Amino acid sequence: MNSSSRPIVNNTFMSVERIQYLRFVAIGILFISIVSNAACLNEFIV
């Protein structure tokens, strides 16, 4: 029973870590896009 239930716990743990990793990547991409857009706007204004 323990050996069969452990993989399920590991799968759920991996899915939670994967969701947090994807969220971190999404925030990073948004931050980079905002910074690049701000830099382009500054160059366009100047």
Q: Is the dihedral of CA 8, 14, 17, 18 positive or negative?
A: negative
**pLDDT tens digits, residue range 5-39?**
555 666 666 688 888 999 999 999 999 999 988 88
Residue ranges of alpha helices (H) inside the chain are 2-45
pLDDT attached to residue 14 = 66
The count of structural domains within the chain is 1
Q: How far is CA 13 from CA 6, 16, 30, in A?
A: 10, 5, 26
Quote the domain boundaries for residue 26: 1-46
State CA 3 to chain mean position distance.
31
pLDDT attached to residue 22 = 92
pTM over 0.85: no
